[in-house]
Amino acid sequence: MDCKRIRNEEKSMRSDEEVIRHINEIIDRQIQPSVELHGGKVSLEKYEDGVATMFMSGACSGCASSEYTLQQGILQMLQYYIPEVKNVLKVEDPNSTVDPYYT
């Protein structure tokens, strides 16, 4: 599947599994390469009722900018391509030993 934008009329025909596949594709192709530049890692922990919960690890875990990245970067991108996504939440890696990226 290409990272194509899904029209609103198409979304009612998609299963949660299809939405999850599309979210993971967007993460792999468009989100992760950006956060990786700063030593971060983002992955989908779960998707339920229009909410994508993202696991933030590496330099993303504990970073002061991670909330901005989540709301203004990840949420905006997912909503652009995947209209089923209504919100994103984050779970930080409690075992991260990487220093957060600050600028």
pLDDT at 59: 83
Q: Which two tokens stand for residue 3?
A: 């990272």
pLDDT at 12: 61
Q: What is the CATH number of domain 15-92?
A: 3.30.300.130
Rounded Cα distance, 5 and 51, in Å = 18
List of the chain residues with pLDDT < 50: 1, 103
pLDDT at 3: 61
Q: Is 39 helix (H, G, I), strand (E, B) or coil?
A: coil
pLDDT at 92: 86
pLDDT at 10: 58
In angstroms and rounded to an integer, the radius of gyration of the C-alpha atoms of the chain is 14
Burial class (CB in 10 A: 0-12, 13-18, 19+), 20: middle
pLDDT at 1: 46
